[in-house]
């Protein structure tokens, strides 16, 4: 659970540093070794405080471009989740 919380904080920090959804996903997959798409969706849901249905497009994305959605498309589909989170948490 502690690892989950530290990943969430890292994802939120990455969003505040203007990283896109695809950048955060690549970090989780490549650097953290998380390949289960449901886990990726749960992390996005928890990190950006959004309904699970808002991030299900992650299931159609993969960092090697072998799925339906590439980086640009996933950013278009779920990028608002990050911008909404940042707007709600402006200091």
Number of domains in the chain: 1
pLDDT score for 4? 80
As a whole number of angstroms, the longest Cα–Cα distance in the chain is 39
Q: Which of 35, 37, 34, 24 is nearest to 4 (CA)?
A: 34
Is 0.75 surpassed by the pTM of this model? yes
Which sign does the torsion angle of CA 55, 59, 60, 62 carry? positive
**Residue in this structure with the two tokens 């540093």, named with its chain if needed:** 17
For residue 60, the model assigns a pLDDT of: 92
- pLDDT tens per residue across span 39-51: 999 999 999 999 9
- Give per-residue pLDDT as tens, 74-88: 999 999 999 999 999
Tokens read off for 3: 């690892």
Q: Which domain range does residue 43 map to?
A: 2-88
- Which residue, chain included where needed, has tokens 């948490």? 89
| pLDDT for 91 | 61
CA–CA dist 15, 73 (Å, integer): 18
């Amino acid at each position: 659970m502690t690892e989950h919380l530290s990943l969430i904080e890292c994802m939120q920090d990455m969003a505040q540093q203007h990283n896109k959804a695809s950048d955060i996903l690549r970090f989780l997959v490549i650097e953290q070794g998380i390949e289960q798409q449901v886990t990726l969706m749960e992390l996005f849901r928890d990190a950006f405080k959004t309904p699970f249905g808002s991030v299900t497009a992650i299931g159609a994305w993969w960092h090697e471009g072998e799925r339906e959605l590439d980086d640009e498309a996933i950013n278009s589909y779920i990028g608002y989740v990050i911008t909404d989170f940042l707007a709600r948490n402006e200091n």
